[in-house]
Structure 1
Amino acid sequence: MSQNRITVAVDIGGTFTDLELRDDTTGQSHSLKSPTTPDDPARGLADALLLAAERFGFALSDIGLILHGTTIATNAVLTRDLPDGALITTEGFEDVLEIGRHARPDIYALRGPDRSVLIPRRRRFGAPGRIGAAGEVVRPLDAAALDSVISRVADSGVEATAICLLNAFTNPEHEIAIRKALLARCPGMAVSCSHEVSPEIREFERTATTVLNAQLVPVIHRYVTAVRKRLSDAGVIAPVYLIQSNGGAISLDAAVQAPVKLLLSGPSGGVLAAQKLARSLNTPDVVGVDMGGTSYDVAVISGGQRTVVTQGEIDGLPVRVPMVEMHTIGAGGGSIAFVDASGRLQVGPRSAGAVPGPVCYGRGGRNQPSPTST
């Protein structure tokens, strides 16, 4: 048999790891579902590949390509399981995340909805300097003042920092200088700059997207490192590509630098499948639903085409990167129901996951602590 004959598509969710395999020699396809291992999802991936190799009769060295969709980034945002982060922005713009955009879904409500802010005010710092709308340096960076900002970020003990300065998309000079100074003081810190993550106008969306990217870098970096080790130990030498929110693919190294592009990684593959199914059934208008253990995703195929937008939203957080248009909520098959401080019944976004799993698994879970209401 020829080497590298197996193509693998894998989707790792909070509860199940799903494999689709195609033998390029025979044209046969196989499916396999295996429990996710929440403590180390990469271990669950390796275990699923070993099980598939045994069940369907191939060697792991026969795998020529792995296409990987994952909800790890999505679930980290939905459950707010993110590392502590800081934001460095132009002095006077530290509150952009809280100001946001005027949105009042219920015009008769006495107060607007609470805004989800990933970085508290005490970890948002103003940088001394200003870039104009045309990219000109209106106010140079003050070295002494910048050193003070860097020191405060270092002393905060955060794992990730987002740098988003006014008009940096026209001239990234100050963002680059701040990143260089920050990494000199904190060489192991995850740092994301807005001119690389979302180089477009609209301060709120650009800042929110850069913050999300920065806080996801450690999450995805740990996962990618684990995947490489697990696959190497198992004898898998095939390249791995992660599915992006727009339905395309990205290398592991690129994914670590821009993890915000993975927020709809798993669900976007389902939308592509719904589009293909709609065409094959000659039914151009369909609604695609992807219900996992943690999240529930809905997309519309209209006229046989999916819609790709340049800005989306994840659990109330704006994301300004290309993505398949869909709506995601933090409620899935394993969502935990609880009563919040006001006595209201809430469902999700925390999930029983694969361990102990939904109650029908019969593996305990009766005495799980209730999540703290926010």
Structure 2
Amino acid sequence: MNSTSIRLGVDIGGTFTDVVLEKAGEVFSTKVLTTYAAPENAIIDGMHQVCVKAGVAPSEIGQIIHGTTLATNALIERRGAKTALITTQGFRDVIEMRSESRFEQYDLNLNLPDPLLARQMRFTVAERVDAKGDILIDLQRSDVEDVVEQIAEAGFESVAIGLIHSYLNPKHEQMIREILLEKLPDVSVSISSEVSPQMREYERFNTVVANAYIKPLMASYLGRLEARLGDEGIACRIFLMHSGGGIISIQNAADFPVRLVESGPAGGAVFAAHIAAQYELEKVLSFDMGGTTAKICLIKNQTPKTSRVFEVARTYRFKKGSGMPISIPVIDMVEIGAGGGSIAHVDAMQQIRVGPESAGSEPGPACYGRDGTRPAVTDADLVLGKLDPDNFAGGSIKLFPEHSENALTGHVGERLDMDAVEAAFGVAEVVDENMANAARVHAVENGEDLSDYTMIAFGGAAPLHAGRLCEKLGVDRLLVPPGAGVGSAIGFLRAPFSFEANRSVYMKLSDFDGPMIKKLLKDLQSEATGFVRTCDAESPIMSEFKVYMRYTGQGWEIPIDLTVAQAMNPDKDVFEARFIEDYTKLFGRPVDGMDIEITVWSVNATTPKEEVTLVSQIGAGSAAVQDGTRDVFDAAEGSFCKASIVLRDQLGAGHRVQGPALITEAETTIIVPSSRDAMCQADGCVDIMLKGSN
């Protein structure tokens, strides 16, 4: 067998590390607890487990694709390198001044999150480039050398360089980098004109600072990982999943680690989009719930919605505006602190709150028996009968129901005069409503009606909660695909090689310059294609063109997709028509009599998506064989009911399961509520629909 047909996908999450090996179309997977001190240890452990299952030696692996939360966690926990920022004189405090928006408008005691770098870590040089890219004040080498000397004396490990309007003219940033590397060759350097060449200095400065802050940490980790895999006899190339839903080389990942910040969730969205394509679904709600967070993404026409700005490290209950804006291409999703490990407590208003704090894998929920004493969502699920204490994670982790009951009673029940079951019901309903509300808000912001959508659920905890979420959202159909418990890791194996290059060049349609536009887009196409070629030297590469447009005077723009012909033969009337068409879809009507402007130009180079085999959908056949029953709490009924237990690996095409039921497998358990019935499709997907509709 050709070794390149054996591929490994690895997703390091906040609680579990998921490892998937694909061999000749067959998937073998496992979940191991994340080892925070040395994340590579969990990867090696999981790799050995799946290799044994597949009957292959580690040296036979031909490709490894990796996604990780390490970059995100380093930003959240503020444990990156000692970093300095060099910026234009007069702009030292941009990352501290933020923008004028307040995420809690009427909170007089609002505390804004501290910038990543304190003021004494920010340095300035006398230089100035204007909004057209022309140099107004030349940068003097002596000024740079003075700053470099201060940086050397302070012992900084990494330096971020962000100058005003450098996205239009990077000459001064490049000069500072040259002098830094000449004087301090061991210092890591990031420049904003390469990391995020876009307008809006707050977002751009923040992005380059974040990149510099985590660059030494990620370079060290990726180096250790390569060495450990080499010790195991693995000589294949390692690739990283990036936030935009594609794969980049390990070297590009080390240079631009900020692009890895949402790599795990991006893999999940790719996984859901692949399932949507197999079922020819036009509207899909992707629901990914792991041990630490839940992620919700809208997927239309088998393509996840994307954005170019998102926030990490939100400090105020995951509220928009309370985090660090990162300006890079990213799959657009809403993320909340609701995972299996999310901790429940009672607040000063005597209300149950869940998350965003998580028990993680160390110590984990109380039921893990690892000295965790506070109740987590997993504890509530266990008390409500959703989990088998003797068969959690395929039996690799034994759960202790009495620990869950004690934690729920002690931290929730005694405060609210509830027994353990009532407390567990309250915790489960709060976390489910939090997720349902996040999905509703995300849908409204995008002008969508979720009743038209099909939910695809994956992640270790999602199948436990997806049925109830569908009841709350009015979603009729739910698909739980094979390998749902390790969906993001499988998504890595479905993702194309891709890289998006973008640049801010301001232009009004009244000043439309076709030849300049064509040259700009060709330059971006060459840049993006060059990155992809470092990963794949043979596959054809396609280019996807996008411009960000708005009416003059508006604060933000909307993305407009262009065909190759429209991009390579720019026409003012076509650009205007495309903008008005998309603007009207989003806001209901165009605005007459106003000029239109373009602020950002983008080209995504990508290899073709993996070919999809359509699923021949079938009707319900014979009843599935039961493997016993268990009392499970049904939230809609408000009481326990006797649910049948069905082993997922015993389900065949057409087998039907009447709710209430539990469909169990090694990585997760699917809860089929009383209001629903389930059926196994030909590809192994569990298709859950309202009673009477299948």
TM-score after normalising by structure 2? 0.49
Select the residue among 357, 360, 369 that pairs with 1:353: 360
Q: Please say which of residues 204-213 and 14-23 is displaced more in the overlay.
A: 14-23
Structure 2 unmatched runs, 5+: 315-322, 375-694
Aligned length: 363
CA apart distance, 1:214:
0.7
Deviations 1:101-147 (A, max 9, x none): 22134433335551441011111111122222333322222333332
Aligned to 1:49: 47
Contact 2:89 2:124 in 1 (8 A): yes
Distance in structure 1 (CA, Å) of the matches to 2:104 and 2:198: 30
Cα distance between partner residues in 1 of 2:156 and 2:344: 31
Report how far residue 331 of structure 1 moved. 5.2
Mapping 1:1-374, distance limit 5 Å: 1-24=1-24, 27-110=25-108, 112=110, 114-314=112-312, 315=314, 316-330=323-337, 332-335=339-342, 351-366=358-373
Structure 2: which amino acid aligns with 1:296? A
Indicate conservation of the 8 Å contact 2:244/2:330, yes or no. yes
Could you tell me which residue of structure 2 aligns to residue 372 of structure 1?
none
Shift of 1:184: 3.0
For the 8 Å contact 2:86–2:162, the answer to whether it is kept is: yes
Contact 1:247-1:269 within 8 A present in 2 as well: yes
Counterpart Cα distance in 2 of 1:49 and 1:109: 49
Q: Deviations over 1:285-325 (max 9, x none)?
A: 33223233333322122354311112222231111111100
Quick one: distance in 2 between partners of 1:118 and 1:335?
A: 25
Alignment check: 8 A CA contact 1:75 1:294 kept: no
Which region of structure 1 is more displaced relative to structure 2, 158-167 or 180-189?
180-189
SS of residue matched to 1:289: strand
What amino acid is the match of 1:13? G
Provide the rounded CA distance (Å) in 1 between the counterparts of 2:130 and 2:54. Answer: 61
Q: Structure 1 CA distance, aligned partners of 2:22 and 2:250? A: 22
Larger radius of gyration: 2
2:309 and 2:355 map into 1 onto residues whose CA distance is 25
* Equivalent residue number for residue 564 of structure 2: none
Whole-Å Cα distance in 1 between the matches of residues 146 and 353 of structure 2?
Answer: 43
Instruction: Summarize the Cα distance change of 1:336–1:156 in structure 2 as closer, same or farther, 3 Å threshold.
Output: farther
Distance 1:274 1:43, change over 3 A: same
Matched-pair contact (CA < 8 Å) for 2:308–2:328 = yes
- Cα RMSD between the aligned structures? 2.6
Give, as a single letter, the amino acid of the residue that structure 2 aligns with 1:6.
I
**1:211 alignment partner, SS class:** helix
User: Quick one: structure 1 residues 358 and 185, their matched pair in 2 at CA, closer, same or farther if it must change by over 3 Å?
Assistant: farther
1:87, distance to aligned residue in structure 2 (A): 0.9
Secondary structure of the corresponding residue to residue 21 of structure 2: strand
Segment drifting more, 28-37 vs 163-172:
28-37
Partner Cα separation in structure 2 for residue 111 and residue 275 of structure 1: 42
- AA at the equivalent of 1:138: L
State how far apart, in whole Å, the 1-side matches of 2:29 and 2:278 are: 20
2:278 corresponds to which letter in structure 1? Answer: S
- Cα 1:333–1:155, aligned 2, differ >3 Å: closer, same or farther? farther
Further displaced range: 36-45 or 242-251: 36-45
Once residues 94 and 3 of structure 1 are traced to their aligned partners in structure 2, the CA distance between those partners, rounded to angstroms, is 52
Asked if 2 retains the 8 angstrom alpha-carbon contact of 1:101 and 1:204, the reply is yes
Cα pair 1:79 1:349 within 8 Å, conserved: no
1:183 is displaced (CA, Å) by 2.5
Q: Aligned to 1:245, what secondary structure does the other structure show? A: coil
Q: Does 1 or 2 have the higher relative contact order (CA < 8 Å, sep 6+)?
A: 1
Contact in 1 for aligned 2:21/2:51 (Cα 8 Å):
no
Pairwise CA distance, 1:338: 8.4
Q: Which runs of 5+ in 1 are unaligned?
A: 368-374
Distance apart, 1:212 and its partner CA: 0.8
Question: How far, CA to CA, are the matches of 2:2 and 2:85 in structure 1?
Answer: 52
For residues 33-52 of structure 1, the C-alpha deviation after alignment (integer angstroms, 9 at most, x for no partner) is 12222111112112211122
Q: What is the TM-score when the length of structure 1 is the normalising length?
A: 0.88
Deviations 1:214-233 (A, max 9, x none): 11101210111011011000
Structure 1 contact 87–125 (Cα < 8 Å) conserved: yes
Spell out structure 1 runs of 4+ moving beyond 4 A: 335-340, 344-351
Query: Does the CA-based 8 Å contact 2:59-2:232 persist in structure 1?
Result: no
1:371: which partner in 2?
none
The DSSP-based 3-state class of the residue aligned with 1:119 is coil
Change (3 A) 1:69 1:102: same
Q: Deviations over 1:162-185 (max 9, x none)?
A: 100111112212111212222233
Residue 207 of structure 1: CA displacement?
0.5
Report how far residue 149 of structure 1 moved: 1.7
**Does the CA-based 8 Å contact 2:365-2:373 persist in structure 1?**
no
What is the aligned-residue identity percentage? 40
Q: Structure 1 residues 206-215 or 345-354, which shifts more?
A: 345-354
Task: Compute the displacement of 1:93 (Å).
Answer: 0.2
For residue 280 of structure 1, report the CA deviation from its aligned partner: 3.5
